[in-house]
Amino acid sequence: MSTARFSRFGFILAAVGSAVGLGNIWKFPYVTGEYGGGAFVLVYLLTALFIGVFILIAELLIGKLGQSDAVSMFENLAVKKKNIWKYAGFIAIVPLIILSYYSVVIGWIFHYIAISFQSLPSTVEESKNIFMSLLTSDLQTQLMYHTVVFVLVTSIILKGIKDGIEKINKILMPLLALILTILFVYSISVDSFSKAASFMFNADFTKLSSEAVIVAIGQAFYTLSLGMGIIITYAASLPKKVNIVKSSLLIAVIDTLVALVAGLIIFTLLFDKGAESTKGAGLVFISLPSVFYEFGSIGSTLAILFFVAIAFAGITSAISMLEPMVSYFVNRFNYSRVKAALICSIFFYVLGIAALLSNITDYSPMLMVGDKNLFDWLDFVSSTILVPLGGILVVVFVGHFMDKEKINAELIPLLGTAFTKIWFFMVRYIIPMALIIVILNETGLFKF
């Protein structure tokens, strides 16, 4: 790699920074609401902690043994040379596609930080109008914030692993932890906390549809940033002496904890004001702002803290989405980091503009394909098809096409022989099957 390595702590922070993002604070609570609470949370927890940790170990192994960019690592680590695995590394393009619309959503969050400083909507109706007019007619504001995100993440990624990625995570992640702790402590003091806790942790399995199980698996995947070459790329800059099993566990546990804490905070606030839990994607942008208003004088402080927390979480994830392709261009074509970063950033920036235009009423007819606009297509194709597909490639590659002896030499000292065998079994057979089911179900090709 062309830039200095992570420190051990820096690596964990950066990986957690990538994992903890809009998926934890924005998406997890609303899908939990939609799919009925406790039982959904349980399936999500089991998937994140079992399937998630198994794949994290696989990705860290590729990075540790491969020591290069994502594309080259697949090519170099395959046992058979002249292989088609060199194409698998192009899963590293997927995060750039995700980043196009993810950056637009971070832009909305910036806008909501500004609103929280000015005045919050006093009713859900007003809140809905604000959000819908931002989304469907306010091109200027969205473009401005999308550009701010573009400049911000590009300038950080330019500085490389140590001075860019590690440094920003060392600043933003502790701040994020602090803000979430403050909000969490506050929500414990609110009466409806116990109601929120029982909503999230009382598992009523009669509410658990097979669709909910599939969504929970998909969510666990997305939230851990798996199957996109990100963790693989970060792991290539791991310091030599890192226990990859412990690191994987730590990353999954912290990411899961953040999702749970965010869920508890949001549901406590919503329930306290009698708002509903099932508000879909608008939960954070429509229901919450008017709930914050109802909290009176402390409401705008809560709102600012909350939106700043999501912004921090989003930025550290956004940066991680750029790194895989940047390191590919630097490694393979000897591009300067500046050139590589600009190519990748301009790609996501332009695609992001098209995505945000597709929500604007005047342009949306041009950017509709079938029943979805470009924004929704980008989200759907990347997070429901490409991410699980990338996951399958990773586990099939590690399970069947990498040198088993090398993997054993890494894992047996950490896991023991029996657990290493279980890990291999999961990675070879169970996880690919689970992921195929997720893709079939989410694309509607086969409903379970």
How far apart, in whole angstroms, are the C-alpha atoms of residue 146 and residue 345?
A: 12
CB of 160 to ligand PFF, least distance (A): 19
Place of tokens 């310091």: 239
Question: Which residue pairs from 293-302 have beta carbons closer than 8 angstroms and sit at least 24 positions apart in sequence?
Answer: 293/120, 293/121, 293/122, 295/269, 299/120, 300/116, 300/117, 300/120, 302/183, 302/186, 302/269
- Sequence-separated (6 or more) residues with CB below 8 Å from residue 170: 10, 13
407 CB burial (10 A radius; 0-12, 13-18, 19+): buried
**For residue 384, what is the DSSP state?**
I
Summarize as ranges the residues that interact with ligand PFF (CB under 6 A): 18-19, 21-24, 95, 98, 222-223, 225, 228, 230, 317, 320-321
10 Å CB burial of residue 49 (0-12, 13-18, 19+) is middle
Q: Considering beta carbons, is residue 130 or 394 the nearer one to ligand PFF?
A: 394
Question: Which residues, at least 6 apart from 86, have a Cβ–Cβ distance to it below 8 Å?
Answer: 71, 74, 75
DSSP classification of residue 82: S
**Smallest distance from the beta carbon of 438 to ligand PFF, in angstroms?**
16
Q: Which is nearer to ligand PFF, 258 or 275 (CB)?
A: 258
Q: Measuring CA to CA, which residue among 224, 221, 229 is closest to residue 75?
A: 229
In the complex with ligand PFF, which residue's Cβ is closer, 130 or 259? 259
Rounded least distance, CB 254 to ligand PFF, Å: 12
Q: Which is nearer to ligand PFF, 78 or 435 (CB)?
A: 435
Give bridge partners of residue 402 from the DSSP assignment: 78
- The beta strands (E) that lie in 288-439 are given as 368-369, 372-373
- The distance of closest approach from Cβ of residue 230 to ligand PFF in the complex, given in angstroms and rounded to an integer, is 5
**Nearest Cα residue to 6 out of 161, 157, 232:** 161
Question: Residue 18 or residue 142: which is nearer to ligand PFF going by CB?
Answer: 18
Look up residue 123 and give its DSSP letter: S
Minimum distance of ligand PFF from residue 210's CB (angstroms): 24
The Cα–Cα gap between 109 and 145 comes to 9
Residue tagged 């549901």 (tokens) = 267
What is the smallest separation between the CB atom of 312 and ligand PFF, expressed in angstroms? 12
Choice between 75 and 379, CB closer to ligand PFF: 379
**In the complex, what is the shortest distance from the CB of residue 259 to ligand PFF, in angstroms, rounded to a whole number?**
8
Closer Cβ to ligand PFF, 104 or 124, answer by number: 104
Q: How far is the CB of 99 from ligand PFF (least distance, A)?
A: 7
CB of 260 to ligand PFF, least distance (A): 13
Shortest CB 222 distance to ligand PFF, Å: 6
| Of residues 130 and 230, the one with the C-beta less far from ligand PFF | 230
Residue placing its CB nearer to ligand PFF in the complex, 124 or 393: 393
Closest to 388 measured CA to CA, from 210, 212, 228: 228
Report, in angstroms and rounded to the nearest whole number, the Rg of the chain calculated over CA atoms: 21
Cα–Cα distance for residue pair 24/255, rounded to 1 Å? 8
Which is nearer to ligand PFF, 124 or 230 (by Cβ)?
Answer: 230
Q: 241 with 25: CB under 8 angstroms?
A: no
**Residue (55 or 407) nearer to ligand PFF, CB:** 55
DSSP of 155-215: HHHHTHIIIIIIHHHHHHHHHHHHHHHHHHHHHHTSTTHHHHHHHHH---GGG--HHHHHH
Tell me the C-alpha distance between 14 and 168, whole Å. 9
Least distance from C-beta 93 to ligand PFF, angstroms?
A: 11
